[in-house]
């Protein structure tokens, strides 16, 4: 397989940038264009809900590469430029500033926060600008409601408690989720939030919101009264809705790509000849379940990007990325690696140190270790457990 002469990457976050950098690492010497609709150079997103929101970092500390470093790698970066369409047959990307021809296209446009049906104007968090607006509001908010029981909801609740605000964390399912681990850590997360003064309402259905002033507007102050289906209500200063993300594929609507919950790809990230997708927007074929699914974690975007870059530069399949993700909630660091069956409870693994932290494992029906979770575990303990995870696919699901 000969390398393409022109690679265009849509999405200038960690996934898109990693494709570009990895292509250079693999010896690719063709043209690389990285397109992003934000005005910022590529930055890493996990600090947005942690260090940036807590006021511990300034925006420049989340930057991944300087303009000079990107120029030195021969990566052409176009900021503030949005993709508007794709002609698969003509190998042409359409943007709000003209067309870009390509030999290979990599889609890394990520997701946008899903608006809450009752709280459409509530604050959300996805971009650097979102984080800075939310940080400003958190500086004066004494009563914060976080709508959403996933990782980001927990992280935002943690950041608000760090500022000594009263926090109400609202969900509907009755459980707390942790990405690919699902709800297997729900009991532990519940205890962690309660120990740090977060009020949990995990079986609460919002039916209305009444504004006093402009309490829901992203940059305004005022009180918002939340009304619940059980007849209760709560007045808060700030509402943050984190109820999941919607793949940013609207610009691809007129293309011939399969867009069922993201850009549908095979197990190598190929969406169509000459077109790949990585990161939150990409629904890769899971060789274990035989289903396409998106994994919304930065480390997954990085692993997919490295695999795609190697394939573009050299051909061949490359290694199947293994999900790896982490979070820090109320000072507790949680790592997860591998695959987790929601029907199989985690089992604590033997300790290799005297640390109070723990490592738990997820085993498949054959008893093989398929995933591990570190709960405040020393890095050495987690690395040891991670090395024992069986990452080979058995049985291999036929790809289609």
- Residue 397: what pLDDT? 41
Q: What is the mean pLDDT of residues 26-41?
A: 96
- The answer to whether the 6-112+246-314 and 115-243 domains have the same CATH topology is yes
Q: For 54-100, what is each residue's pLDDT tens digit? A: 889 999 999 999 999 999 999 999 999 999 999 999 999 999 999 99
Inform me whether the pLDDT recorded for 230 exceeds 50: yes
- Residue 160: what pLDDT? 95
Inform me whether the pLDDT recorded for 219 exceeds 60: no
Inform me whether the pLDDT recorded for 216 exceeds 60: no
- Residue 215: what pLDDT? 43
Between 333 and 316, the more confident residue is 333
Among the listed ranges 155-169, 267-281, 287-301, 386-400, which one has the minimum average pLDDT value? Answer: 386-400
C-alpha span between 281 and 268 (Å, rounded): 15
Token pair 């950041």 is found at: 159
- Residue 321: what pLDDT? 77
Q: What does the DSSP 8-state code read for residue 37?
A: S
Sorting pLDDT into bands at 50, 70 and 90, what band is 218?
Answer: very low
Which CATH superfamily does the domain covering 6-112+246-314 fall into? FAD/NAD(P)-binding domain (3.50.50.60)
- Residue 299: what pLDDT? 86
Token pair 């930057």 is found at: 63
Identify whether the C-beta of residue 254 lies closer than 8 Å to the C-beta of residue 280: no
- Residue 182: what pLDDT? 93
CB within 8 A of 294, min separation 6: which ones?
247, 261, 262, 280, 281, 282, 283, 284
Q: What is the DSSP string of 295-314?
A: ---HHHHHHHHHHHHHHHHH
Inform me whether the pLDDT recorded for 315 exceeds 90: no
The residue ranges of every structural domain in the chain are 6-112+246-314, 115-243, 339-387
Mention the CATH class of domain 115-243. Answer: alpha beta
- Residue 150: what pLDDT? 94
Q: What is the largest CA-CA distance in the chain?
A: 65
| Residue 200, beta-bridge partner list | 169
Q: What is the mean pLDDT of residues 131-150?
A: 95
Angle between the N-to-C axes of helices 128-138 and 151-162, in degrees from 0 to 180, rounded to the nearest 10? 40
Number of H helices, E strands in the chain: 7, 26
Identify whether the C-beta of residue 34 lies closer than 8 Å to the C-beta of residue 65: no
Distance of CA 343 to the CA centre of its chain: 24
Q: What is the DSSP string of 132-144?
A: HHHHHHHTT-SEE
Token pair 């600008």 is found at: 129
- Residue 140 CB-density burial (10 A; 0-12 exposed, 13-18 middle, 19+ buried): exposed
């Amino acid at each position: 397989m000969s390398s393409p002469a022109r690679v265009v990457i849509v999405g200038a976050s960690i996934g898109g940038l990693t494709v570009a950098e990895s292509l250079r690492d693999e010896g690719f010497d063709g043209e690389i264009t990285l397109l992003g609709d934000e005005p910022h150079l590529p930055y890493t997103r996990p600090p947005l809900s942690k260090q940036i929101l807590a006021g511990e970092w300034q925006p420049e500390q989340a930057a991944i590469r300087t303009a000079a470093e990107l120029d030195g790698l021969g990566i052409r970066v176009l900021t503030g430029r949005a993709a508007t369409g794709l002609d698969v047959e003509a190998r042409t990307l359409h943007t709000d500033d003209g067309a870009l021809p390509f030999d290979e296209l990599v889609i890394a446009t990520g997701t946008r926060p899903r608006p809450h049906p009752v709280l459409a104007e509530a604050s959300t968090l996805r971009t650097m600008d979102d984080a800075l607006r939310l940080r400003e509001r958190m500086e004066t908010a004494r009563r914060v409601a976080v709508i959403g029981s996933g990782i980001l909801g927990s992280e935002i609740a943690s950041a608000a408690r760090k500022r000594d605000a009263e926090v109400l964390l609202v969900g509907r399912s009755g459980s707390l989720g942790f990405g690919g681990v699902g709800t297997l850590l729900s009991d532990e997360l519940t205890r962690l939030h309660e120990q740090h003064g977060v009020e949990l309402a995990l079986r609460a259905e919002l039916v209305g919101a009444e504004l006093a002033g402009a309490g829901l507007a992203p940059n305004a102050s005022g009180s918002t009264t939340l009304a619940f289906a059980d007849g209760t209500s709560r007045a808060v200063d700030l509402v943050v809705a984190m109820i999941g993300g919607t793949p940013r594929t609207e610009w691809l609507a007129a293309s011939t790509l399969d867009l069922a919950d993201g850009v549908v790809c095979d197990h190598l990230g190929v969406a169509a000849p000459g077109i790949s997708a990585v990161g939150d927007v990409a629904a890769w074929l899971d060789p274990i379940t035989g289903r396409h699914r998106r994994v919304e974690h930065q480390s997954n975007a990085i692993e997919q990007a490295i695999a795609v870059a190697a394939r573009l530069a050299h051909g061949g399949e490359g290694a199947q990325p293994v999900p790896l993700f982490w979070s820090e909630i109320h000072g507790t660091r949680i790592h997860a690696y591998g695959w987790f069956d929601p029907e199989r409870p985690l089992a604590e693994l033997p300790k290799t140190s005297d640390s109070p932290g723990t490592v738990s494992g997820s085993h498949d029906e054959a008893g093989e270790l398929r995933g591990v979770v570190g709960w405040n575990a020393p890095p050495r303990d987690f690395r040891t457990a991670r090395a024992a995870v069986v990452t080979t696919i058995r049985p291999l699901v036929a790809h289609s």
